[in-house]
Amino acid sequence: MSTDTTLLADHVCLITVGDAAALDRRESIAGEQLRDALLSTSDDDDVKAIILAGLTTGRFAGLVGPQDAHPGTRASYSGTRGLHQVVTYCKKVVIAEVDGQVGPTASALCLAADFVVSTSQSTFASPFSVPEANYPLAVLTMRANRTKAWMFRGGELDARSAYEAGFVNELVPGKSLRQATTDLGRRVALMPLDGLTVSKMNIGAAFDVIGVGREFDATEASVAAGGASW
């Protein structure tokens, strides 16, 4: 099932991932489709906020990594124009919408997103089995020791704990989820386009200062070197 893009409200775009489990399988086409949807939407001047939905997968069965030996797969996930960097440095505000069990790749995408709105029964797999889960960004988001505890203990974080750790911005009942993300998107849409753009430019520069970009570069190099070992 492919990634779908629709306009949800004025200046608010919805991108729905067709098969989030395919991201955990590191299928090249799934990564490319989502990345391309994000790139084209972020260059649309009519869009200020992007809601990223369809991120839940069901119980995580383990990452599959040998495909990383293929340069195309590495490019679509780990590269400078790969999925994780495109979300992290997206020109528009990205809101991750979560309802259910989030696998490691989608967890890493939630980490990269600007906001995460989640239902209270959702769970987040540790993103750190994904090479592109950015450690400096995680430290900035949820602080160093929480990051390391999640990293080394592994396992799922329930939505309440994720909220308390600063990983999730808002907890809502399931039936209100789409309304909550749309409302947040609309609030962002009330902001001036150029103001948002400059803010996004600035946060990207700040990320680079604290090592987010260098971590991505190091990850790309290690994935290229290690390939199947992930």
Partner 1 sequence: MGRPRWGNPESVASARSQVLLDIDAGGGIAWITLNRPEKRNALSVPMRDRIADLFDQLAIDDRVRVIVIRGNGPSFSSGNEINEDWGQRGPEYKRFTVTHAYRYSSELTWGRTSFSQVIARSPKVVITSAQGFCAAAAYFLLAAKSDLVVVADDVKIGALEARFLGPASSVASLNLNRAIGAKAARYSGYTGAAMNAHDAYACGFACHVSPLADLQVDTARIAAEIAARPTAELSRLKARVKGGDSLMDNNVPVVSGLLASHFLRSHSDEMSFWKAVKEGGVGGALKQDKARAAASGGVSS
Catalog residues that contact partner 1 under the rule CB under 8 A. Answer: 128, 135-136, 139-140, 142-146, 148-149, 151-154, 165, 210-211, 214-215, 218
* Nearest distance, CB of residue 44 and partner 1, angstroms: 33
CB of 45 to partner 1, least distance (A): 34
CA distance to 96, 116, 120, per residue, from 169 (Å): 10, 5, 12
Whichever of 17 and 142 has its CB closer to partner 1, that residue is 142
Task: Output 4 or 164, the one with its CB closest to partner 1.
Answer: 164
Classify residue 179 as exposed, middle or buried by CB count within 10 Å of its CB (0-12, 13-18, 19+): exposed
Q: From CA 71, how far away is CA 68, in angstroms rounded?
A: 7
Nearer to partner 1, 74 or 146 (CB): 146
Containing 97, the helix (H) or strand (E) segment is strand 93-98
Q: How far is the CB of 77 from partner 1 (least distance, A)?
A: 16
- Using the Cα atoms of residue 142, residue 147, residue 149 and residue 154 in order, give the sign of their dihedral: positive
Nearer to partner 1, 77 or 128 (CB): 128
Q: Please name the residues in contact with 139: beta carbons below 8 A apart, sequence gap of 6 or more.
A: 147
Q: How far is the CB of 216 from partner 1 (least distance, A)?
A: 10
